[in-house]
C-alpha cells in the first residue's frame, strides 16, 4: 500500500485521468467500450473447459482509446495463457461508469453470460471521486456489487483507486479505506491501486498523458495477472 500512497505526488495527473474516464458531449466513447455493451454476445463464444473471467469496471478496464486487442481484458487473457491457464476474459468495462452505474448493469450482464464466471474483477469508484460523490454512497454501491456476486457464488477480486489530494484530507480519509475495508469484509483479494507504477510515467501513457498506452497496460497486467491466477486456483 505504501507504493500507492507515494503516488500522491501525481495528483494532477490522477485528476486528469479520472476526468478523461467521464466522456463529454464532444467525446464519443472509444470503440473498445462496445465490447462491454456487447459482453453477452462476446461471452457466448465457445469457452470449452477454460475459465470464464469478467473484468467489470470503467475506462481503465475498457481499453480506452486502444485497439481491441490492446486493452486490459485481452492482455490479461494472454498473460494467463502464458502461465498455462486457459481462460476467456470478457471485457465489461464502460467509460464514465460510476459505482452506481456499475451496480445498475451488473445483474443484466451476469444473466446474459453462458455460465457462471469463475472470477469477476471489480474496478469502479474513480469517477465517483472525480465528481465528488459521497464516499459513503460509493462504498455502499461497491459493497452491493460484491454482495450480489457473493449471493451468486461468484468469486471476486477488487482493484482499488485512490482519492486525489486536491479532494482534501477528509474526503481521502473516507474514500481510500473503501477498497481494503470491502476486500476484508467480503474475503476477496485486493490490488490496492490499479495505476500503480504507470501514473506519471509518460512512456507508459497515451499521447494525452492520461490513460495507459499498450505498454502501460502490459505493466499493469504483469502485476495483476499473478493475483488473478492465484484466485483461479492455478
Question: Closest Cα partner for 151 from 107, 190, 92, 109?
Answer: 107
Q: Mean pLDDT over residues 148-174, rounded? A: 96
How many angstroms from the chain centroid is the CA of residue 153? 20
Model confidence at 175: pLDDT above 70: yes
**28, 90, 98, 176, 227 from 57: Cα distances, Å:** 18, 11, 9, 17, 17
Grouping H, G, I as helix, E, B as strand and the rest as coil, residue 20 is helix
Calculate what percentage of the chain has a pLDDT beyond 90: 73
82-125: per-residue pLDDT in tens?
Answer: 999 999 999 999 999 999 999 999 999 999 999 999 999 999 99
- Show the cell assigned to 150: 457473493
pLDDT at 49: 73
Question: Do residues 12 and 205 lie in contact, with contact meaning Cβ atoms separated by under 8 Å?
Answer: no
End-to-end CA distance of the chain: 25
Question: Closest Cα partner for 33 from 123, 103, 78, 96?
Answer: 96
Question: Do residues 55 and 121 lie in contact, with contact meaning Cβ atoms separated by under 8 Å?
Answer: yes
Calculate what percentage of the chain has a pLDDT beyond 70: 78
Is the CATH number of domain 51-233 3.40.640.10? no
- Parse the chain into domains and list their residue ranges: 51-233
140-151: per-residue pLDDT in tens?
Answer: 999 999 999 999
Cβ-based neighbours of 204, under 8 Å, separated by 6 or more: 197, 198, 212, 213, 215, 216, 219
Question: Do residues 86 and 49 lie in contact, with contact meaning Cβ atoms separated by under 8 Å?
Answer: yes
Higher pLDDT, 207 or 193: 193
Q: Mean pLDDT over residues 141-167, rounded? A: 96
Model confidence at 10: pLDDT above 90: no
The catalytic residues are 59, 208, 211
Q: Mean pLDDT over residues 7-21, rounded? A: 46
- Show the cell assigned to 210: 492520461
Confidence bin at 14 (pLDDT 50/70/90): low
- For residue 65, the 8-state DSSP code is T
Amino acid at each position: 500500500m505504501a507504493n500507492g500512497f507515494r503516488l500522491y505526488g501525481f495528483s494532477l495527473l490522477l485528476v486528469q485521468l479520472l476526468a478523461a474516464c467521464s466522456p463529454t458531449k464532444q467525446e464519443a466513447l472509444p470503440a473498445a467500450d462496445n465490447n462491454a455493451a456487447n459482453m453477452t454476445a462476446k461471452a457466448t463464444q465457445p469457452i470449452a473447459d477454460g475459465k470464464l473471467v469478467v473484468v467489470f469496471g470503467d475506462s481503465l478496464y475498457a481499453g480506452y482509446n486502444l485497439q481491441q486487442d490492446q486493452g486490459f481484458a485481452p492482455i490479461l487473457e494472454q498473460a494467463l495463457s502464458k502461465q498455462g491457464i486457459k481462460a476467456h476474459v470478457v471485457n465489461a468495462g464502460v467509460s464514465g461508469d460510476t459505482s452506481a452505474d456499475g451496480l445498475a448493469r451488473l445483474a443484466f450482464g451476469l444473466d446474459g453470460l453462458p455460465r457462471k464466471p469463475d472470477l469477476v474483477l471489480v474496478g469502479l469508484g474513480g469517477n465517483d471521486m472525480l465528481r465528488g460523490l459521497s464516499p459513503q454512497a460509493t462504498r455502499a454501491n461497491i459493497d452491493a456489487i460484491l454482495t450480489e456476486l457473493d449471493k451468486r457464488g461468484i468469486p471476486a477480486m477488487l482493484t482499488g483507486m485512490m482519492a486525489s489530494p486536491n479532494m482534501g484530507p477528509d474526503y481521502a480519509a473516507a474514500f481510500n479505506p473503501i477498497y481494503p475495508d470491502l476486500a476484508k469484509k467480503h474475503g476477496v483479494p485486493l490490488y490496492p491501486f490499479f495505476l500503480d507504477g504507470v501514473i506519471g510515467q509518460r512512456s507508459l501513457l497515451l499521447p494525452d498523458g492520461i490513460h495507459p498506452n499498450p505498454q502501460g497496460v502490459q505493466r499493469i497486467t504483469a502485476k495483476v495477472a499473478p493475483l488473478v491466477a492465484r484466485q483461479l486456483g492455478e
